[in-house]
Amino acid sequence: MVLSFPSAPAGTPREGCRRRIVKASGLRLALQLAIAVVVFATAAGGAATKALAFSSHELAAKIAYCQDCHGPAGQGYRGFYPMPRLAGQQVEYFEDQLRAFVEGRRLNSIMSPVARSLSPAMMTALATDFRAFNPRPLGGDRRELAAMGEKIFQDGVPEQNVPACAACHGPEATGIKQIPRLSGQLYLYMVKTLTNFRKDRKEHLSDVMYPVVESLNKRQIEAVAAYVSSLR
């Protein structure tokens, strides 16, 4: 036996309840749609904000600031205080070193405050910009030591437990990702960096480099620097 009930006429309590349920359901749906729109708009706005973290004018100003010391093509500067070549450097290494100045893994009274003024997005933009430069090396190296440096770089010094530099930096010294490019780097900067590696750097890569640089004598360091500084 199936029981059936007559439909309540419009305006009765049961009909009014049904209308309230439908209305509530409609409100919930509208609210859900509104939330979805807000979430989507927020995400899109966040992406847009990230993409527009700085203006082209701000980027140009930062590039010009870097060029004041590192040269108009990022080729570096030979002087009393040699400035390293930035041109062609690996983007990942460039960014990591800027963060190292911020975090105290690298110590430099000039670069630390400069790096702290840069946002992560600006660091990436600068790294990408200088990566595209490819000027000729400045030279100024001791060419008579380049042949010795090439042998050390390519083959290492087994009797001193020094591995080949090419094993990490590549046969053409161009580096890869967080391993730096050395080709074309300033001779004096390379000598200074290898000589003062333990003093200037406090980072995980130092665990690899410490034994290497401490196993090389002054002439060998100068030879490696002479070789890589001549590469393009």
Backbone φ, ψ for residue 176 (5° rounding): -160, 125
* Residue of 183, 190, 207, 97 lying closest to 134 (CA atoms): 183
Report the predicted TM-score, pTM, of the whole model to 2 decimal places: 0.74
In this prediction, residue 205 carries a pLDDT of: 54
Q: Is 56-229 a domain of CATH 1.10.10.10?
A: no
Q: Does residue 112 contact residue 100 with C-beta atoms inside 8 Å?
A: no
Q: Does residue 82 contact residue 192 with C-beta atoms inside 8 Å?
A: yes
Three-state SS for 118?
A: coil
Q: Does residue 108 contact residue 200 with C-beta atoms inside 8 Å?
A: yes
CA distance 121 to 182: 25
pLDDT, tens digit, 9 for 90 and up, residues 134-192: 999 997 778 899 999 999 999 999 999 999 999 999 999 999 999 999 999 999 999 99
In this prediction, residue 202 carries a pLDDT of: 58
CA distance 68 to 208: 32
Question: Looking up tokens 């580096």, which residue turns up?
Answer: 175
In this prediction, residue 111 carries a pLDDT of: 95
The residue count of the chain comes to 232
Q: Where are the domains of the chain?
A: 56-229
Q: Does residue 109 contact residue 99 with C-beta atoms inside 8 Å?
A: no
Question: Residues in the chain with pLDDT < 50?
Answer: 1-50
Within 10 A of 177 (CB to CB), how many other CB atoms are there?
10
